[in-house]
Amino acid sequence: MKYPATIKAYAKLNLTLDVLGRRADGFHELCTIMQKIELFDELSADFGCNGVSVRADTELPPNSVAYRAAYEYCRRTGAGGASITIRTHIPQMAGLGGSSADGAGVLQLMQQHYGAMDEAELFALAAELGSDVPFLLGGQLALCRGRGEIMQPLPPREFYYVIVKPAQGISTRELFAALKPPYAPPRSNAALDAILRGDNAALCANVSNALAPAAEERLGEIAAIKRRLLAAGALAAEMSGSGSACFGIFPNMAKAQAAKAAFADMPWCHICKSVHGMV
Ligand code: C5P
């Protein structure tokens, strides 16, 4: 085997998330700036078997993204099987892309071992598996459009994040289904300009999430966590994706650590930084 069959499958957070409208296929047209973060599941693969199996240290849904990724890769290419093991650290129903990260990680493992798809086929499969899978397969900081599969890579921003997740999660499907226009005004282009200018203050001023009002209606704790992150010194605070995790942006580790101390009462609180460069 050419590569070690163990990888880190990184999570993401959404620095901005605009909902532009509902599409004919039932999905919503998005414009979102996604950042890959140093929070990851660990995936390993054994290729000495036929068929596909996925085991994890937490319960996976019957047709998990990870399973479908391995199954579809084999079905489409005729590649042999894989036995995948997942050690999870990314919380579920958090808006951090946990199940999509696992799907992207499986595709990466399969491709490293079998090399049976070209890049276009691999990204097409990623997009079918879930809206965040293409970014998690190939991005670090990017403006993503469509369902998320049209990516414009952006220059890196070095930030530290304090991420706080309440006990209750949110279903992406249910939140989108409950979403009604008018949607919040788009902020991604202003944030994009700020990133391209290297203007962190303007970027932080445009951190936003059009799904947050609907999520806060369901789970009031989200607004409270955002307020607490700002009170703890965050340059900006917002919900990630469809929630329920929220993040605060900090300029350095010391400030992030000081802020984390204010969340000892929360079930899950994690500090991490942006992923960039070779990983
Ligand atoms: O693509 P993903 O599996 O993450 O999406 C979960 C559900 O969220 C979709 O089935 C769809 O109902 C909703 N969704 C949407 N518009 C998007 C992404 C997701 O309506 N851009």
Q: What is the largest CA-CA distance in the chain?
A: 55
Share of the chain above pLDDT 90, in %: 95
pLDDT of residue 278: 65
Ligand 1, atom 10, lies closest to the CA of 173
Cα 200 to Cα 4, 33, 191, 192, distances in angstroms = 37, 14, 9, 11
pLDDT of residue 240: 98
pLDDT of residue 4: 52
Chain segment 261-271, per-residue pLDDT in tens:
999 999 999 99
pLDDT of residue 49: 84
How many residues are given for the chain? Answer: 279
Asked whether residue 2 carries a pLDDT value surpassing 70, the answer given is no
Chain segment 175-224, per-residue pLDDT in tens:
999 999 999 999 999 999 999 999 999 999 999 999 999 999 999 999 99
Average pLDDT rounded to a whole number, residues 101-115: 97
Cα of 78 from ligand 1 centre, angstroms: 29
Cα of 15 from ligand 1 centre, angstroms: 18
Chain segment 75-84, per-residue pLDDT in tens:
999 999 999 9
Asked whether residue 162 carries a pLDDT value surpassing 90, the answer given is yes
Average pLDDT of the residues of the chain: 96
Report residue 48's pLDDT band, with 50, 70 and 90 as the boundaries: confident
Atom of ligand 1 nearest to the CA of 30: 21
Chain segment 226-265, per-residue pLDDT in tens:
999 999 999 999 999 999 999 999 999 999 999 999 999 9
- 52-56 and 82-87 beta bridge pairing: parallel
Ligand 1, atom 19, lies closest to the CA of 27
Atom of ligand 1 nearest to the CA of 177: 12
Contacts of 158 (CB under 8 A, 6+ apart): 273, 274, 276
pLDDT of residue 279: 63
Q: Which residues of 103-128 are buried (b: 16+ CB within 10 A; e: fewer)?
A: bbbbbbbbbebbebbeeeebbebbbe
Whether 132 is a known active-site residue: answer yes
Q: Kind and range of the H or E element at 35?
A: strand 28-46
Among the listed residues 18, 41, 102, 132, the single catalytic one is 132
Whether 2 is a known active-site residue: answer no
pLDDT of residue 77: 97
Closest CA to 153 of 116, 94, 195, 212: 195
